[in-house]
Amino acid sequence: MDVGDVGDGWIEPLSERDEVLTRWVERVAGDLRARLSVPELQRELGEIYTALTVALTAGGTDLRAEQFGELRALLADLSSGRARQGFTPRETAGTVFALKEAATAVMEKRNVGYRDYVRFSEFIDELGLFTFETYVRTRDQVIVEQSNQLLELSTPVIKLWEGVLAVPLVGTLDSARTQMVMESLLEALVSTGSRHAIIDITGVGAVDTQVAQHLLKTVMAAQLMGADCIISGIRPQIAQTVVSLGIEFGEIVTKATLAEALALALRRDGFRFVRRAAGAEIR
């Protein structure tokens, strides 16, 4: 035996495909407690097993090598699929690690040496780590997608009354958000022919100088288009902080609540509110 062969004794036993694969599917099905069906797993793991044995027969155990391309693609599909279906990282990597135990009986039967078995174990660990990396990448991607969705979701322009628009701001107001708010507000002002815009900041946790600057810019842009702009939802703690910080809102009208801002906008449009006398009929 030449030096290159030391540690490769684990590859040949894997040719007992049926035995190893059956055990592998059994184990994984048990771990995942029937959240994936056996035929599904048979197909999925069968493909991976084929790609694995084909690549190993071609020689080498470096996962980055070209012949492992197919295997890498299948493992990436597996882990990104699992990540999106909500399986835990443990369950996902566990699917790969289960192959160790599944192959142990065959290795024993073929009298695979200790060294060879360690090499086999290392190789499976490598596969597991690769799966884990892909899993994390997919999760990161999902998070980015969700925060983008949130960005779009969180800037609705609401028509409160004929001629009165409102933008309730929630969470963090960064440059990207402000840009989005400003664009959708200005467009809505034109398309609905509204004269009043209310920016409600009840949901904004902290108003620092950058948030204030963004608010001022949005208001100025709306005013340039001839709209009256009111900032509402200034809570007591925000008011005190803004004063301590030294931010000046100047001419901009601010109100504690959205209701007051709406009332003001309507009064400016000439509406009068009269409470019906007690006992009077509703017509």
Partner 1 sequence: MTGMDSQRHPIVTESDVVRVRQVVRTLAVAAKLSLVDQTKMVTAASELARNTLVYGGGGEMMIDLVDSGRRRGVRAVFIDTGPGIPDLDLALTEGWTSGSGLGLGLTGSRRLVDEFAIDSSPGVGTTVRVVKWSR
Chain positions contacting partner 1, by CB under 8 A:
172, 174, 205-210, 212-213, 236-238, 240-241, 244-247
Instruction: Output b/e per residue, 130-147; b: 16+ Cβ within 10 A.
Output: bbbebbeebeeeeeeeee
For partner 1, which is the closer residue by CB, 85 or 175?
175
- The minimum distance between CB 207 and partner 1, in angstroms, equals 7
Nearer to partner 1, 15 or 240 (CB): 240
Residue 18 CA to residue 61 CA, distance in Å, equals: 22
Q: Which is nearer to partner 1, 57 or 209 (CB)?
A: 209
**Alpha-carbon torsion, ordered 108, 114, 115, 120, to 10 deg:** 40
Report CA-CA distances (Å) from 75 to 56, 130, 263.
15, 8, 60
Cβ 224 to partner 1, closest distance in Å? 20
Query: In angstroms, what is the minimal distance from the CB of 83 to partner 1?
Result: 21
Q: How far apart are CA 121 and CA 199, in angstroms?
A: 60
DSSP code string of 15-77: G-HHHHHHHHHHHHHHHTTTSS-HHHHHHHHHHHHHHHHHHHHTS---TTSGGGHHHHHHHHH
d(Cα 75, Cα 32) in Å, to the nearest integer? 17
Q: Which CB atom, from 4 or from 246, has the smaller least distance to partner 1?
A: 246
Q: How far is the CB of 208 from partner 1 (least distance, A)?
A: 4
Q: How far is the CB of 242 from partner 1 (least distance, A)?
A: 9
Q: Considering the complex, state which of residue 136 and residue 225 has its C-beta at the smaller distance from partner 1.
A: 136
